[in-house]
Amino acid sequence: MPSPSREKKEKAASEDGDCQADSPMTSSRDVGSEHSLSSLTTQDESFHCAHHADASLKRMESYLMRNQLTDVTLIAGTRRIPAHRVVLSASSLYFAAMFTSDLREASQSEVELQNVDGEALWILVHYCYTGSIELREENVETLLGTACLLQLQEVVDACCNFLMKQLHPSNCIGIRLFADTQCCAHLLRVSHDYTTEHFTEVISNQEFLLLPADEVAKLLASDDLNVPSEDHIFHALTAWVKHDVSERKKDCGQLLALVKLPLLAPSVRNNVSTYVKHELPTGVTWSKAGVPSWWSHGLRQEILTGGHIVEGRGSQMGVTLSQAGVPNWGHMVSGRGSQLVFIADYIETNPLFREERVCLDLIMEALKYHLLPERRPMLQSPRTRPRKSTVGALFAVGGMDANKGLTDLKKDTAFWSEAFFLKKALAPTASLVLTDSSQLTSDSQHLGIYSSPTASLVVLTDSSQLTYDSQHLGATSIERFDLRTNSWSEVAKMSGRRLQFGVAVLDGKLYVVGGRDGLKTLNTVECYDMKTQAWTTLPAMSTHRHGLGVGVLEGPLYAVGGHDGWSYLNTVERWDPQSRQWSFVAPMTTQRSTVGVAVLNSKLYAVGGRDGSSCLRTVECFDPHTNKWLPCAPMAKRRGGVGVGVVNGYLYALGGHDAPASNPSASRFDCVERYDPKTDTWTHVAPMSTGRDAIGVSLLGDRLFAVGGYDGQQYLKLVEAYDAQNNEWQQVGLVALVITSVADIVALILASLADIVALILASLADIVALILASLADIVALILASLADIVALILASLADIVALILASLADIVALILASLADIVALILASLADIVALILASLADIVALILASLADIVALILASLADIVALILASLADIVALILASLADIVALILASLADIVALILASLADIVALILASLADIVALILASLADIVALILASLADIVALILASLADIVALILASLADIVALILASLADIVALILASLADIVALILASLADIVALILASLADIVALILASLADIVALILASLADIVALILASLADIVALILA
């Protein structure tokens, strides 16, 4: 019969069916034999139960629910939760630190958690046993806050993910603020991004209206707000202020400064040619130039010297005045329509802003920005930098694949051409082409023109989802760059292959002009409608052109210069969108291909290019009103394939080359020149990071973007942006245009091993740079943390010293006050004694005369004893005075009472003596008292000086110790940094050594392979030759036999 213990073991084994051994178990007894265990063959085995941990925690959960074996009780409010320390410590870093350290909670049977929700605590304690938790809208925030306290990171992440899924315009601000208070960085970033992405919906919800002013300021200060125009920002601000005008009106000036008033769009966008002055209010006078006389002399002079108030020759404008003295532009009338300027028509009449001086200054700043377009370069500020969502998008049209090598380029002597860039206007319905880039509020805007050999850039308002044609060297794809996300995406493709073409946007449609199809130069023009996503063929130009420049000036589109396949061109054609016809205008003075074209101040500029013999540095501009080309100041460098763009009234020339057509691989320029049309001069500005020509140039926001290009060896994906205010270039998102096939990559690797090694070394350099950058960040973080620690120590020390000095001051003040009270009491008591003596002098004269000698001796002896006692133990007296002032006063009064009693007892004896020497006795008493008080005060001064000196020594010692500690910390940090740098040096050396070994191994392997191939070829050739020899010998033998047979 099996034993009970064996039955229990067999039962347990059957229950734990998931438990298994890693190797088969050898039986301890052979079937049909009765041998001892020592005679059997055994082997070691490893056992693992897959569900042991889950089963153990399940048992612990049952103990928790039955309150068994619990060793701590958590108290949160009125909730008492028994638990097991080991389970809590294993799940929570907070409890681990509490129960495994020397904190008093480690030995307490009950631990109270302050400001913790009892229900949330119970749910999280239960999670420690089960690993599961139920999240609901009503408890997730409480659970998240409690989980952050208990350092349950998995629960924190789960709560954050739950809240991310719940994000909505009505709650994203609250979630964002909650994430900030809980230090949940990822949730804060996601909720902030959601808020900025859906800002137009967020501002219509109650959460936004209830925000405090500082949080509203944080939102309005962000350039990432997704709004179609700045008008939405202004309306959001006014709605927030109106929600509680009395409390929020004081913040209007601060918040209005975050609204980009100069960039507010006009409320009506009709073209304005002339203005008619209407009847003015009584008492308002006007200058001859149509400027109200109430304006400040400085502003009036600025407008008058600017030559005009609004665009148009000899224009007049009618303006009425608001009560605040600011022009009411709502009464401006023109021959073809009205332009109700939003700033003056709405903002300056708003009572929320008209009473604040700061607001009026901001409104005036915006008006000056609109009225003085030629002064805009000097009026730049954070309020003139547009938000990312209002600048439109950048489009790259066409392109060249990277696998077009140098051999192909040598065959193509006209591989430079043009790219064009335009930007979406502020209103979504406006035309995208403008004749004057300085007038941001006109109905359309042209931002810069330049042609590149392979790509053209435009800014459009719509896109479509098409595919990329990779069968030709010239790409047909159109890619879109989003400034908010800093990313490129493919959105459409051209209807056919073109190189060296020009593009422009006119009336919301994309025009593709001229170019080459790989075989011939084209004069065809195609138009792409972004709404219908359809291409339309338009009337062709009169001249075939590639390498041309294209620009839109006051409505018509101009095709400038280029090459017709046989010669360089100086002719210019103009497309009239009304008559839908091409016509010639005045030709340029110089033949130009690969010319940079831009529009500035209602003139068309042709910059640089090539005339057939050399690259050009000359510049000329076209005036459509006179139909003439005028020369401008030449550039400092000859620039073929130059990129041009316009920023803040200046023309920029980027990159280019001065290479002959026979040497297309010559170096390219990285330098940039700026042209000032007022002074007709060129100046150098910050250079680009890489020399290149055929650059796509466009103004996006307030930065000039340089896209792609050719550096003499390869086409680039590099994108840089120029900040004119800071005169610096920054790299941004790359164009995903260059595509190479796997076969080309394999062929390139097999053809040139040096390129592979260079790529490896370049990657290694990037890795090392990344490691060094990360190390720099780590060191900066360590130093910042150290600075914070030192600052905290010094601040704490300052607080301690201040507390000690304050306490010392209080002690000294208390001692002085107590001494003053004692002296006052003594003097008062003496005054009473003297008054008593004088009042009863007649009665005690006889007594004083009878025993004057004894009394005087006794008084002098007592006074001598008192003075000696005070001088001998002054420190004890002071301490005794502070400790028991009541006893001292009682003792003094008792002594005085005894003296008075003694005086009264022998008054008859000393009356005569007192009468004889009363004046001397009183003088002696007063002099003695004065000496006593002076001695006490001097002793106190010495004591205070000694205390101050001791404190100074203590403070000096503390500061010296802190200096030593800081020096030790810095020395330790220096050692740590040195060790890290040494380790990194070793790692880099090891990586380089490994790479060297790998490269050597590759080279050795290639050598072995080549040797093997050559050896095999030698063997094959030898075998072939031997076989041929045998065949020839056999043929000869057969022929000999045949000849012999014939002869026989």
DSSP letter string, 116-139: --HHHHHHHHHHHHHS-----TTT
Q: What per-residue confidence (pLDDT) applies to 741?
A: 36
Task: State the average pLDDT for the chain.
Answer: 76
Using pLDDT thresholds of 50, 70 and 90, give the confidence band for residue 92. very high
The answer to whether the pTM exceeds 0.75 is no
CA gap 937, 443 in Å, rounded? 89
Beta strands 72-76 and 110-112 are parallel
Q: What per-residue confidence (pLDDT) applies to 327?
A: 40
Q: What per-residue confidence (pLDDT) applies to 260?
A: 87
- Residue 114 DSSP code: T
**Is-contact 604 624, C-beta < 8 A?**
yes
Most confident of 319-328, 527-536, 614-623: 614-623
> How many CA atoms, within 13 angstroms, populate the side-chain half-sphere of residue 39?
6
Closest CA to 671 of 654, 659, 693, 696: 654
Q: What per-residue confidence (pLDDT) applies to 743?
A: 41
Taking CA atoms, 606 is separated from 107, 616, 642, in Å, by: 86, 11, 11
What is the average per-residue pLDDT within 346-366? 77
Span of 402-406, 520-524, 897-901, 995-999 with lowest mean pLDDT: 402-406
Backbone angles phi, psi at 75, to 5 degrees: -120, 125
Most confident of 66-70, 513-517, 581-585, 741-745: 581-585
Percent of the chain with pLDDT over 70: 74
CA gap 628, 27 in Å, rounded? 109
Q: What per-residue confidence (pLDDT) applies to 345?
A: 61
Is the pLDDT at 415 greater than 60? The verdict is no
Using pLDDT thresholds of 50, 70 and 90, give the confidence band for residue 881. low
Q: What per-residue confidence (pLDDT) applies to 631?
A: 95
Is the pLDDT at 278 greater than 50? The verdict is no
Cβ-based burial of 609 (10 A; exposed 0-12, middle 13-18, buried ≥19): buried
What is the average per-residue pLDDT within 365-380? 81
Q: Which is more confidently placed, 920 or 524?
A: 524
Q: What per-residue confidence (pLDDT) applies to 170?
A: 92
H/E segment holding residue 903: helix 885-905
Using pLDDT thresholds of 50, 70 and 90, give the confidence band for residue 436. very low
Angle between helix 153-165 and 185-197 (nearest 10): 10
Beta strands 557-563 and 568-576 are antiparallel
Q: What per-residue confidence (pLDDT) applies to 437?
A: 32
pLDDT digits (tens, 9 = 90+) for 476-513: 888 888 888 888 888 888 888 888 889 888 887 889 99
Is the pLDDT at 328 greater than 70? The verdict is no
Q: Which is more confidently placed, 1010 or 72?
A: 72
Cα dihedral 80, 84, 89, 92 sign: negative
Beta strands 502-506 and 509-513 are antiparallel
Backbone angles phi, psi at 164, to 5 degrees: -60, -40
Number of H helices, E strands in the chain: 26, 33
Residues 817-851 as b or e (16 or more Cβ within 10 Å = b): eebeebeeebeeeeeeeeeebeeeeeebbebbbbb
Span of 19-23, 111-115, 306-310, 354-358 with lowest mean pLDDT: 306-310
Using pLDDT thresholds of 50, 70 and 90, give the confidence band for residue 582. very high
Is the pLDDT at 13 greater than 90? The verdict is no
H/E segment holding residue 397: strand 394-400
pLDDT digits (tens, 9 = 90+) for 818-866: 788 887 888 887 788 777 778 777 677 777 677 777 766 787 887 788 7
Is the pLDDT at 165 greater than 90? The verdict is yes
Closest CA to 20 of 41, 43, 51: 51
pLDDT digits (tens, 9 = 90+) for 713-729: 888 888 999 998 889 99
Q: Which is more confidently placed, 815 or 426?
A: 815
What is the average per-residue pLDDT within 344-354? 69
Is the pLDDT at 12 greater than 60? The verdict is no
Percent of the chain with pLDDT over 90: 28
Is the pLDDT at 8 greater than 70? The verdict is no
What is the average per-residue pLDDT within 195-209? 91
Q: What per-residue confidence (pLDDT) applies to 624?
A: 95
Is the pLDDT at 870 greater than 70? The verdict is no
Using pLDDT thresholds of 50, 70 and 90, give the confidence band for residue 541. very high
Span of 149-153, 362-366, 426-430, 741-745 with lowest mean pLDDT: 426-430
Closest CA to 647 of 726, 717, 594, 559: 726
**Is-contact 610 568, C-beta < 8 A?**
yes
Using pLDDT thresholds of 50, 70 and 90, give the confidence band for residue 403. low
Is the pLDDT at 739 greater than 60? The verdict is no
